[in-house]
């Protein structure tokens, strides 16, 4: 009986140690290697996030002005943030979101959620390699973009290398202050809008 009890205890101890070692990454389950982007580090993920935003911003015509907001890192992910400095009027928000949504669908992003709120509309999507991307419109028609990576290998993350296409701001980024004949117009524009 003692031998059976000892064997069971030993088996439980080995199983528990295996779970703990796997959780710590010592058995091949290292942080960042079990996700969709095995071998990518935080810097690579930040560059991929930048590329997703730049491609999206490039698809928006007429051109919008934007600035980098911030970069944050989690335990194994990276998030980049941007603010649009072009005023997007209430009447043109649907057009703006429609352009973004169509581009994301054409880029094979899966649209997860569309928030049709009149005051704070937003679209949330995910790329085929697991990056979450979102756009939301906030106070005074300011659009904000955010891209968050899946879990990747830990590394240092440098600031974006591409210079913002608008004015640079010291300290807090103000509300949008760039007028566009199209995006800031307070009349409805013909054409498709974001799906409800």
Contact assessment for residue 138 and residue 144, using Cβ atoms and an 8 Å cutoff: yes
Residues 24, 62 within the same domain: no
What's the predicted TM-score (pTM) here? 0.78
Helix (H) or strand (E) holding 56: helix 42-59
Residues 23, 55 within the same domain: no
> pLDDT, tens digit, for every residue of 59-112?
999 999 999 999 999 999 999 999 999 999 999 999 999 999 999 999 999 999
What is the predicted pLDDT for the residue at 15?
41
Which three-class secondary structure state does DSSP give residue 6?
A: helix
What is the predicted pLDDT for the residue at 191?
55
Residues 126, 156 within the same domain: yes
- The total domain count for the chain is 2
Residues 11, 45 within the same domain: no
Residues 17, 68 within the same domain: no
Residues 114, 26 within the same domain: no
> pLDDT, tens digit, for every residue of 45-64?
999 999 999 999 999 999 99
* Containing structural domain, residue 21: 1-30
Which three-class secondary structure state does DSSP give residue 123?
A: strand
pLDDT confidence bin for 153, thresholds 50/70/90: very high
Which three-class secondary structure state does DSSP give residue 10?
A: helix
Which strands form 110-115's sheet, in the order they lie side by side? 66-73, 78-84, 143-148, 132-137, 122-126, 110-115
Q: Which residue has the higher pLDDT, 2 or 133?
A: 133
Whether the pLDDT of residue 196 is over 80: the answer is: no
What is the predicted pLDDT for the residue at 182?
96
């Amino acid at each position: 009986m003692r031998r059976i009890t000892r064997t069971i205890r030993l088996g439980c101890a080995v199983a528990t140690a295996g779970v703990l070692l796997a959780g710590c990454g010592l058995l091949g389950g290292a942080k960042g290697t079990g996700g969709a982007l095995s071998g990518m580090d935080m810097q690579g993920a930040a560059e991929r996030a930048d590329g997703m935003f730049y491609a999206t911003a490039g698809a928006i015509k007429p051109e919008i002005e934007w600035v980098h907001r911030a970069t944050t890192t989690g335990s194994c992910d990276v998030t980049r943030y941007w603010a649009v400095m072009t005023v997007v009027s209430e009447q043109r928000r649907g057009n703006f979101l429609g352009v973004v949504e169509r581009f994301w669908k054409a880029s094979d992003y899966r649209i997860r959620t569309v928030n049709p709120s009149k005051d704070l509309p937003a679209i949330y999507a995910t790329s085929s390699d697991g990056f979450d991307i979102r756009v939301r419109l906030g106070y005074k028609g300011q659009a904000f973009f955010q891209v968050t990576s899946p879990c990747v290998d830990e590394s240092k993350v440098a600031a974006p290398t591409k210079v913002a296409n608008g004015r640079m701001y010291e300290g807090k980024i103000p509300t949008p202050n760039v007028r566009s004949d199209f995006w800031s117009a307070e009349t409805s524009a013909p054409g498709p809008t974001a799906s409800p």
